[in-house]
Structure 1
């Protein structure tokens, strides 16, 4: 295996040991910073062209970036998308949200914003809806924000001791709960679909977000699935937790569970959920979506294909024709799900062993349909080819 393939493999697949895991984390941090640096510069330019953000806010952005925060976030992804499509309104809104998070993290300073297009964002365990303007204060560990929509004014204050106080005047429906699940020190928030880009949500899922569904069904299922991963394999769990921050819980329209990701919604995935969930199957879905998140991150290294092949290929993963890059995306998910079931097999009881065998056979069948397209392709770039070769080598080990 070439050095190039080794480097990609450490990022691209579930790590095979602590050394690979640490190398992957270091590599990811560099890519996070690269994405955020370009996005922040372009976003600040956009916010200066429209709306109003007080100039001292940009010093806060710069200081925050130097603290090496978690750059793999939905807001940075939306900023990235806005810059690609030259959408100044969305870029300005995203840079304001990044500024709010920077101030909330402890960066000192006071600043104001006013936007032509309202924004919705999560602040701690609450989602604020349709905010147009605000005033932010952050000093000596205390954080205060006054946010205004067309129908209400919301005052948020968090003291240095962690105490949080809310006050809403006007329409009380301008905020929603975002329950937090903590596993092994990692925090995951359940959030409403209004925060996602339109590219993320599947058309077959209903995006109802009532408190009972979120606080009971969704929270319990996600917590159980994450704990299952945590108990089965530290490497697999850390690989998932490194790229997933938020989950949008959706109701399935036909009783089946499913999941989805989008390259613009960094760190955020959508999971459809039923009342009777299989934690192992939910673990598979988490690995599946983490695979896509890692794939989106790996694309920051460069193009996956050279554009010379615009044909569509049948993908057994979705039952529809997909372009070449999506075939590699699907193959990557299949191999990582197979790795997940291999690690799970050592901890399974008799009934789970039967289920694992069925899912493993199912995934190998899918791989048999996808692999020939990738192995024969002449359009994959050196990066794309390195990704495929690393995954194929892992699959051969899993088949042995």
Structure 2
């Protein structure tokens, strides 16, 4: 994965994030990224490979003491932005989260995940406000994969003191995100199949309760 500065951002990518771009890339940022990748590798090559398949470049944002930042743009596959340097587990989480979004955006290039018939808004604990169905799918996929990472890190003893509480919190949020999807006819077959394996994996590890989608 290459670290990029704002000057390397494609036209139209920087809208909304320009003020947060780092002024330079230093050794601390590279070491932070290496530590995050090592954390993914410790969890298993399936985690690392899953990320490396879709993330090629990272536009570096300034790190802040009180919050971490990451994101991507649907029309720029392989490119994400995130704050560095951060702790190894934070970097690993952000990489998993943004890789999940990359897969989601790639899927939408094939076809829709919902029919558009369900126009209701549902509360999303991910952002603290009502969101349409497709955004719940996006959030469920991202936070679900992060939850699998934390579960694995706890399993192998590579977690932090906060990892257990983070996983418990994610489990509650995932239950809320999943509820509007259960039996929802507005989800297309592709949409259902996109989240079904993840739901099975989360249920199998006891992260969320058993409910068939």
| TM-score, with length taken from structure 2 | 0.86
State the secondary structure of the residue aligned to 1:318: coil
Q: In the alignment, which residue of structure 1 is the partner of 2:26?
A: 215
State the secondary structure of the residue aligned to 1:250: strand
Q: Does 1:246 align with 2:57?
A: yes
Deviation string, structure 1 residues 137-183 (Cα, Å, up to 9, x no partner): xxxxxxxxxxxxxxxxxxxxxxxxxxxxxxxxxxxxxxxxxxxxxxx
Q: In the alignment, which residue of structure 2 is the partner of 1:316?
A: 125
Gaps of 5+ in 2: 208-213
Q: Give how far 1:310 is off.
A: 2.4
8 Å CA contact 1:374–1:388 kept in 2: the answer is no
Q: Does 1:291 align with 2:104?
A: no
8 Å CA contact 1:197–1:265 kept in 2: the answer is no
Q: Does 1:206 align with 2:17?
A: no
Q: Give how far 1:223 is off.
A: 1.5
Q: C-alpha separation between the residues in 1 aligned to 2:58 and 2:113? A: 27
Output aligned runs, 1:324-339, within 5 Å.
324-339=133-148
Q: Give how far 1:225 is off.
A: 0.6
Gaps of 5+ in 1: 1-187
Pairwise CA RMSD of aligned residues? 2.2
Q: Give how far 1:252 is off.
A: 4.5
Q: Kindly tell me: are residues 248 and 261 of structure 1, through their superposed partners in 2, closer, same or farther at Cα, counting changes over 3 Å?
A: same
8 Å CA contact 1:246–1:268 kept in 2: the answer is yes
Q: In the alignment, which residue of structure 1 is the partner of 2:152?
A: 343
State the secondary structure of the residue aligned to 2:196: helix
8 Å CA contact 1:247–1:270 kept in 2: the answer is yes
Specify which of 101, 106, 112 is matched with residue 303 of structure 1: 112
Specify which of 188, 203, 209 is matched with residue 396 of structure 1: 203
Q: Kindly tell me: are residues 390 and 260 of structure 1, through their superposed partners in 2, closer, same or farther at Cα, counting changes over 3 Å?
A: same
8 Å CA contact 2:43–2:149 kept in 1: the answer is no
Larger Rg: 1
Q: In the alignment, which residue of structure 2 is the partner of 1:189?
A: 2
Q: Give how far 1:190 is off.
A: 0.8
8 Å CA contact 2:61–2:69 kept in 1: the answer is no
Higher strand share: 1
Q: Kindly tell me: are residues 306 and 399 of structure 1, through their superposed partners in 2, closer, same or farther at Cα, counting changes over 3 Å?
A: same
8 Å CA contact 1:202–1:260 kept in 2: the answer is no
Q: In the alignment, which residue of structure 2 is the partner of 1:267?
A: 78
Q: Which moved more, 1:354-363 or 1:307-316?
A: 307-316
State the secondary structure of the residue aligned to 1:354: coil
Q: In the alignment, which residue of structure 2 is the partner of 1:153?
A: none
State the secondary structure of the residue aligned to 2:205: helix
Q: Give how far 1:353 is off.
A: 5.2
Q: In the alignment, which residue of structure 2 is the partner of 1:227?
A: 38
1 or 2 for the larger relative contact order (CA 8 Å, sep ≥6)? 2
Deviation string, structure 1 residues 27-85 (Cα, Å, up to 9, x no partner): xxxxxxxxxxxxxxxxxxxxxxxxxxxxxxxxxxxxxxxxxxxxxxxxxxxxxxxxxxx
Q: How many matched pairs? A: 206
